[in-house]
């Protein structure tokens, strides 16, 4: 049985509300509970959302899940992508590489799991130990200067010593405490649609990537009996804000960017149009001058979304949540804890946010010249920039040990 270590300056247990139960939220809840805090997690969905695309846990983030004792379970959930096949516009094969070549990951060490499997695993580590309020959301926050008065959508009113937002790219906590998303949102110039379809191609542990300048179509599958994941992304100077309000407009917009009759494009467009799990968004990051204000702080995508083009969003969420909890446990007050959290994590996050540019140049190069440069590297097996930078960024922080 786990025994709580004697932490010097252990603060009296404080009531903390965490908003969001995906990656950062349950990680934060786990460590805060372990350090003796009284934790409530509010999640707007009715349960932890399972399944989904595969994410990587690399470098410093792997140390976080190791310290949580989750490696055995995550190894079981490992999906082990073996190959990325790059295609010519006519669908013929250009080159096939190991994924680490593009991501800078370490084969045999990194974990690749479905986002929902990671969330399930993190949730299982805290279930029954902290309070979860599903199907609810923070409606209002009032920082009194001493604590935070919270009203939930359900009408419940509670008071917490601290509120920590781990509610993702479009964070509700950020909007309520720091202002509109537009102030912090950095559009990276692409939109994307993700959806699933039957695996009629029989793909196994492989991604196929088709490009023309500024556009990419990706099909990938993990295990033989898995659905196929389809992904269509396209560059556009201005974010298509109107499409957010209208699911039909989203489908029309994506379809209009993929008129080709080559490769599997027509099949993908039709599947996207008929999909009941279409996920449409812009590719963007969050950049904030400060991740805390008064008794409220943010972590994970809510504070510093890196975008899928960096491949490091989940890893950053794990590291950031771990450090935030550790600093709260070991600093004399929340203000110095928030400062120290940000000082420790910001450089690491910024290095990982910077990966998105090189990632975009691999996934969806904007010009034919960029496609040619990437293809040269693929054909001559020279390191892709994304791989070199990724290796440096994902291990750039030595994880502090708050229990030492
Ligand atoms: C298509 C795609 C591919 C990706 N690929 C990768 C990859 O390969 N590698 C990688 O590392 N990362 C990848 N990412 C990014 C990764 O998914 C995120 O960085 C990561 O999930 C961030 O975790 P988080 O816990 O901070 O936020 P999220 O996972 O976004 O979770 C936020 C949680 O808050 C909840 N929530 C939202 N609003 C409220 C509210 N008002 N009240 C209560 N709860 C709320 C949500 O329901 C959710 O459970 C990808 C993302 C996308 C979209």
What is the number of the ligand 1 atom nearest to the C-alpha of 302?
A: 26
- 79 vs 35, 102, 111, 204, CA distance in Å? 32, 17, 8, 10
- State the distance from the centre of ligand 1 to the C-alpha of 136, rounded, in angstroms: 17
Strand, helix or coil at 400? coil
pLDDT at position 262 over 60:
yes
Least confidently predicted of 2-11, 308-317, 354-363: 2-11
- pLDDT higher than threshold 80 for residue 6: no
Q: What's residue 1's pLDDT?
A: 36
DSSP letter, residue 321: H
CA 73, distance to chain mean position in Å, is: 20
**pLDDT surpassing 80 at residue 173:** yes
Could you write out the DSSP letters of every residue in 201-213?
Answer: T---SEEEEEEET
How many Å apart are CA 401 and CA 331, to the nearest integer? 13
Lowest mean pLDDT among 207-216, 229-238, 245-254, 382-391: 382-391
Where is pLDDT greater, at 358 or 201? Answer: 201
Reported as a pLDDT band with limits 50, 70 and 90, residue 3 is very low
CA of 258 to the centre of ligand 1 (A): 27
Does the reported pTM lie above 0.75? yes
Name which residue leads in pLDDT, 359 or 336: 336
210-235: average pLDDT: 92
Q: In what order do the strands lie in the sheet with 162-165?
A: 131-134, 38-43, 15-19, 162-165, 296-298, 292-293
Q: Which atom of ligand 1 is nearest to the CA of 171?
A: 38
Average pLDDT over residues 68-89: 91
Choose the residue to mutate in 136, 232, 313 for probing ligand 1, maximizing ligand atoms within 8 Å of C-beta: 313
Closest by Cα among 154, 175, 164, 190 to 310: 190
> How far out from the chain centre does Cα 258 lie?
26
**381 compared with 338, residue with greater pLDDT:** 338
Which of 301, 325, 360 has most ligand 1 atoms within 8 Å of its beta carbon, as the pocket-test mutant? 301
Whether 264 has a pLDDT exceeding 80, the answer reads: yes
pLDDT-based confidence at 243, cuts 50/70/90? confident
Q: Taking 90 as the threshold, does the pLDDT of residue 97 lie above it?
A: no
| Confidence (pLDDT) at 4 | 45
Lowest mean pLDDT among 12-21, 60-69, 107-116: 107-116
Which residue of 23, 54, 59, 281 sits with most ligand 1 atoms within 8 Å of its CB, as the best mutation to test the pocket? 23
Provide residues with CB under 6 Å of ligand 1.
Answer: 19-25, 42-45, 53, 55-56, 115, 137, 166-169, 172, 194, 300-302, 308, 311-315, 317
**301-316 pLDDT tens trace:** 999 999 988 889 999 9
Q: How far is CA 142 from CA 149, 173, 252, 293, 356, in A?
A: 5, 12, 42, 12, 36
Q: How far is the CA of 309 from the centre of ligand 1 (A)?
A: 14
Confidence of residue 382 (pLDDT cuts 50, 70, 90): confident
What's the whole-number mean pLDDT along residues 391-402? 90
Q: Is residue 5 predicted with pLDDT exceeding 60?
A: no
Say whether pLDDT at 10 is over 70: no
The confidence score (pLDDT) of residue 394 equals 87
Q: Is 104's pLDDT higher than 70?
A: no
- Token couple for 344: 């420790």
Q: What is the mean pLDDT of the chain?
A: 91
Residue 7 has pLDDT above 60, yes or no: no
Best mutation site among 45, 47, 55 for ligand 1 pocket (most ligand atoms within 8 Å of CB)? 55
The mean per-residue pLDDT over the stretch 56-69 comes to: 94
């Amino acid at each position: 049985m786990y025994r709580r270590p004697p932490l010097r300056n252990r603060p009296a247990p404080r009531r903390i509300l965490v908003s969001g139960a995906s990656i950062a939220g349950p990680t934060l809840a786990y460590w805060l509970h372990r350090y003796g805090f009284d934790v409530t997690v509010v999640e707007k969905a009715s349960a932890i959302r399972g399944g989904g695309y595969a994410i990587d846990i690399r470098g410093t983030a792997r140390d976080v899940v190791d310290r949580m004792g989750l490696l055995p379970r995550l190894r079981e959930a490992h999906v082990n992508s073996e190959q990325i096949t790059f295609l010519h516009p006519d669908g013929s094969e250009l080159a096939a590489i190991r994924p680490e070549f593009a991501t800078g990951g370490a084969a045999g060490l990194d974990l690749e799991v479905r986002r929902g499997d990671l969330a399930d695993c993190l949730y299982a580590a805290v279930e029954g130990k902290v309070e979860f309020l599903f199907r609810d959301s923070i409606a209002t926050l009032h920082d009194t200067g001493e604590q935070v008065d919270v009203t939930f959508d359900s009408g419940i009113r509670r008071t917490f010593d601290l509120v920590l937002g781990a509610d993702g790219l479009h964070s509700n906590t950020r909007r309520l405490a720091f202002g509109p998303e537009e102030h912090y949102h950095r559009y990276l110039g692409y939109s994307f649609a993700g959806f699933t379809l039957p695996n009629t191609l029989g793909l196994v542990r492989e991604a196929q990537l088709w490009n023309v300048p500024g556009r990419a179509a990706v099909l990938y599958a993990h295990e033989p009996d898995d659905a196929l994941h389809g992904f269509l992304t396209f560059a556009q100077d201005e974010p298509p804000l109107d499409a957010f309000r209208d699911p039909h407009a989203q489908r029309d917009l994506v379809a209009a960017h993929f008129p080709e009759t080559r490769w599997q494009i027509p099949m993908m467009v039709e599947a996207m149009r008929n999909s009941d799990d279409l996920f449409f968004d812009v590719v963007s990051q969050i950049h904030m001058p400060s991740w805390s204000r008064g008794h409220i702080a943010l972590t994970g995508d809510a504070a510093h979304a890196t975008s899928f083009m960096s491949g490091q969003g989940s890893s950053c969420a794990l590291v950031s949540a771990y450090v935030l909890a550790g600093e709260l446990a070991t600093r004399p007050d929340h203000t110095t804890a928030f400062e120290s959290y940000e000082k420790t994590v910001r450089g690491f996050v910024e290095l990982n946010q910077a990966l998105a540019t090189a990632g975009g140049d691999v996934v969806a190069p904007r010009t034919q010249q960029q496609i040619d440069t990437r293809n040269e590297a693929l054909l001559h097996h020279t390191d892709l920039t994304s791989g070199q930078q990724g290796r440096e960024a994902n291990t750039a922080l030595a994880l502090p040990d708050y229990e030492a």
